[in-house]
Amino acid sequence: MNQDKDIHDELQGIAPHLSRIEKVEPFEVPASYFEEFPARVRDIIALKEAKPETGWLGQWIPRYSYIAASLCFLLIVGGFLVVKNTGTPSAIVAASQQTKATPNDEYVIEHVDEDVLMEPLPAANQETQATKVKQETPAVKNHTSNVSEQYILENVEESTITEEL
């Protein structure tokens, strides 16, 4: 091992005992290790670089599979959002249609005095019209409609009805 004079002098100034120890590589190495090492490294690198041959199909499939997976994800998310968004207005429309007064009801509201209207109705029908319509089952709805028609026939003059029609 070559002794650089400056380095030796520096060490002598710091650690005189240490500077007097002979510099040798302290460990043993297996025989012909350095002769064989370059070939061994070459083999390892060659092994690392030898990837499995996938061909043109193998090169394209992974790329397309990523795109397909991304599209599927977007479709699912998009579909979910569309269903969610379109579901809300239709529910509102359905609800508004439910609460919308029938032509007969409108006529009663316009032409019949409120006091007269409230008096003969059964106690069950004394709730507000909107609430009543929301909770109405088809059977109740039919019943209400019949009651209204009957009431019109009994209390409204025929000439008024004809005029309106």
Partner 1 sequence: MSDEEIILHFKSTDTRSYAFNLLVRKYQQKLYWLLRRMVVDHDDADDLLQNVWIKVWQNLENFKAESQLYTWLYRISVNEALSHLDKKKRRFFLPLGDVEAELGNKIDTGNTISGDELQIKLQKAILKLPEKQRVVFQLRYYDEMPYEQMSKVLDTSVGALKASYHHAAKKIEAFIVGTD
- By the criterion CB under 8 A, which residues form the site for partner 1? 1-4, 7, 11, 14-18, 21, 23-30, 33-34, 37-38, 40-42, 44-45, 48
34 or 56: whose CB is closer to partner 1? 34
The minimum distance between CB 5 and partner 1, in angstroms, equals 10
39 or 67: whose CB is closer to partner 1? 39
The minimum distance between CB 83 and partner 1, in angstroms, equals 50
Question: What is the distance between the alpha carbons of residues 139 and 118, in angstroms, rounded to a whole number?
Answer: 21
Report helix angle 138-155 to 103-111, nearest 10. Answer: 40
1 or 139: whose CB is closer to partner 1? 1
Angstrom distances, CA of residue 147 to CA of 8, 79, 158: 119, 46, 17
The minimum distance between CB 51 and partner 1, in angstroms, equals 14
Q: Is the dihedral of CA 29, 35, 40, 41 positive or negative?
A: positive
Question: What is the phi/psi pair of residue 123, to 5°?
Answer: -55, -35
The minimum distance between CB 34 and partner 1, in angstroms, equals 6
The minimum distance between CB 56 and partner 1, in angstroms, equals 23
43 or 149: whose CB is closer to partner 1? 43
Q: At 136, which helix (H) or strand (E)? A: none
Angstrom distances, CA of residue 94 to CA of 82, 89, 105, 116: 18, 8, 19, 31
15 or 61: whose CB is closer to partner 1? 15
Q: Which two tokens stand for residue 163?
A: 């005029």
